[in-house]
Each structure stands twice: as C-alpha cells, then as structure tokens.
Amino acid sequence: MKLCWRWSFLLVLTSCLWPFTAGGQIDPVKRELIEFGYNAALEGHAPLSAYAFYYRNQPDFLRTNLTLRLAVAPTYLDSELGIAHVIGENTDLGIGVAGGGYADSYPEIRRGTYLTGESFNGYGAQTSLSLYHLFNPGQQIPLNGLLRGTAHFSTYDRDEDTAAGFQLPKDRDTFSVRTGLRWGGREPILMPPLAMELSAWYEGQFRTGSGTYGFDDRSVEPQSHLFWGQALIAYTLPELKHSFYLSLTAGTSVQADRFSAYRLGSLLPLVSEFPLPLPGYYYQEISAKDFAVLGGNYVVPLDPQQRWNLSGTASTAVVDYLPGFEQPGHWHSGVGGGILYNGPSWKILVGYGYGVDAIRSHGRGAQSVGILVQIDLGHARSALPESTQPGSWRGLQQLFNIFGK
C-alpha cells in the first residue's frame, strides 16, 4: 500500500508538471518558487492528487536576450531556453527539453471508481520548438501568438495492481502542433492579485503506435484535434481589499481518446496551464470530449495586514463524456472554502471541498480536504537564514508515507 501511494504521488507530480511550464509566451519576470498542492478524498479510493516542484524563470540568462525556464520535480525535469528577437523585434524562439519517470502514467476512473487494474505507469521524453510573437507592441495589454511543434516519446509499464490480462498500449511517438492567441495573461503563481485573459487555442496530436489495448476494448487514435478557449479576470478591490478570481474555460475535440480527452476534477490551481477544477472530486475524475467550466473564488481579509483570510470557491461544468465514461447527467458542480495565510514569502491555503454531483458508493456527493503552498524564494532568502537542506525531498516523501498508512 505504501509503495502504491508513493507511485501515485509521483504519477500526478510529473504528469501535471509540463503543462504548467509550457506557457503561451516567454515570461519576462524573474521568479524562483516552490509550489506544493495536495487534495485528499474523504470517500472512496482515489489516485493521489498532488504536485510539488521547484520553478525558476531567469531572464538575462548568460546573455541579455536569453531566458531560462526550469521546473524540477523528484522524477521529472522540464526546461525551455527562450531567445528574444530571433525573427524581428517582436518574435522570440523557445527551445524545450523535458522528460522523466511516470510522466505518461494513466489512472482509469469511471463513474467515481478508480480502477487500478486498468491503470498503468508511463515514462516520457520530449523536445519542442516554439515561436512567440507580440502583435501589439507598446500596448498596455499584450496580444501574443504561439506556434509550437513537439516530439514526444512514451513508453509504458505495469504497476503492481495492473490486471494480468490487461494489455498495455504500444510504445509510441506523438508529434503535435499547437497554435493560439492570448490577449493579456495570468502569472504562474497562486492567487494572482490582478490578471485578465482572453485566449483561443488549437492542438493537433499525431501518433505512431496506435491501435487497441486493454482488454481489446479501447484504442489509441492515430490523431486527435483539440480546440479550447479561456476568459478570466482577477482583481483586488482597492478599498475593501477583497479579491476575486473568475474564469470560463470551454473546449471541444475531434477523435479524442483516453490520452487526449479533457479531464476535470480536484482543486489544484497550478496543476496545468489550463486547470479544470471541480472541488471535492477526484483528480481527473471526469473524462470529456466537450466541456465548459465556470469557476472562481473570493477572498476576504480577516486582519488589517491581510495576513489571514477567508477563501470561498465554486465551479460548475457541463460535459459531453468520452465514449465509455458516460454517467447519468451532464452537469457537475463543486464548492469549497478555507483559510488563507498570505505572508511576504509564503502563501498557504488549507481548505475543504464538496463535489455536489460526484458519484460514490452511497450515491451523489463527495468530500475532500487539501492544502496549497507557495514559497517565493526571492523574498524568503531576505527573511530566512542562509542554509541548505539536501534532505528536504526525503522529508516530503516521509510525509506522504504517513498519509498512505
């Protein structure tokens, strides 16, 4: 049981890391962060919902026109070197390399049941080439365009719970192209005080090694096409100091399969560039070929320094299920709340979530508790003594061993 929990942690940790770092433009701001998120389901047996990684964005890396973006998890690394002004003054180039263990693992969840016998481990490596173009230089709200090509290799392995008769997918290469427009943007931090975005995206995925797998009852499509968009706003009221965040994300697909479907659930805001949250649900519990999610949160300070805050969140989604994942009803909603501590270098949110429409053994309704932590090392280093702790990841592993008992 301990080993299963540990592998599940690494699975979520790494498979969710690369979308967070693969942004729609080169980040011009120097950042050094540690991010941690964890959701624990209070009913049923679920894959562990967690992420933890070190994130660094370094403009003027070696030369003034270079930016290094790096994200490091215990078993995975994602990096991109941004080169400014490659094709004219307003077009930049990004060269990405990523890879590691458990990056392509897959948990099967149908009708609120985590099917460990149909879940398996996956490992991956990829390279990417991106062009970023600024269409409106000098304007207060930037309009950026992206064109990215990616080559990704995936290989699969059984874990201790995969059913003996379950046939793994073939190892394969996936070549993808992604393009989109983003007006505005959101910083890659927990609960940004100010943000707005309107964006539209397309991604085409083209695979080798397609065909049937499992119990000869599912397949890998040779190609899938995804279309989605997002509108969001974050704002802090200047006098009340209340802050809110509201987002609407919607998408559709052509020839989607288990590896390209939209997957909704849990409340982990930095789990990807486009998170699809449903408080109280398992992570990636709902598999959809079409969806729309409306969600947001509201934060009220409890003291004049705004260190202690009350936070409330809610999400609702309408989905068209991926074939094989159908369940009664097309609406899913979740609500939650918590306590947010907002220090100069730390943000910690401890909260509760209730999945209103989640299916469990007793019927509808599911509960979860979670924690979100962000440490800004740029501020932390000025406030904390200089020290190194090479055993910090071992401490994190011990923490999850306790949860797995």
pLDDT in tens, 20-45: 444 667 888 999 999 999 999 998 89
Q: What is the pLDDT of residues 234-248, one digit of tens each?
A: 999 999 999 999 999
Looking at the chain, how many residues does it have?
A: 405
Task: Say how far apart CA 305 and CA 297 lie, in whole Å.
Answer: 20
The reported pTM is: 0.88
Tens of pLDDT, residue by residue over 45-103, are 998 888 999 999 999 999 999 999 999 988 899 999 999 999 899 999 999 999 998 88
Q: Return the DSSP state at 325.
A: -
Residue 291 has pLDDT above 60, yes or no: yes
pLDDT given at position 25: 76
Q: Is the pLDDT of residue 172 over 80?
A: yes
Task: Kindly state the greatest CA–CA separation across the chain.
Answer: 63
Name the residue among 15, 26, 349 with its Cα closest to residue 190: 349
Model confidence at 135: pLDDT above 60: yes
The pLDDT of residue 48 is: 80
pLDDT at 24: 64
Query: Which of 333, 319, 329, 322 has the alpha carbon at shortest distance from 365?
Result: 333
Give me the mean pLDDT over the 125-152 stretch: 96
- The answer to whether 207 touches 221, Cβ cutoff 8 Å, is yes
The 3-class secondary structure across 187-205, one letter per residue, is CCCCCCCCEEEEEEEEEEE
pLDDT at 11 over 50: no
pLDDT at 382: 59
**pLDDT, position 174:** 97
Residue 2 and residue 173: Cα distance in Å, rounded? 32
CB atoms closer than 10 angstroms to residue 308: 12
Strand partners, 342: 347
C-alpha to C-alpha distance for 333 and 314, rounded to whole angstroms: 8
CATH level 3 topology of 2-403: Porin (2.40.160)
Strands 76-83 and 286-301 turn out to be unpaired
Distance CA 226, CA 222 (A): 14
pLDDT score, position 75: 87
Measure the CA–CA gap between 73 and 221, rounded to whole angstroms: 30
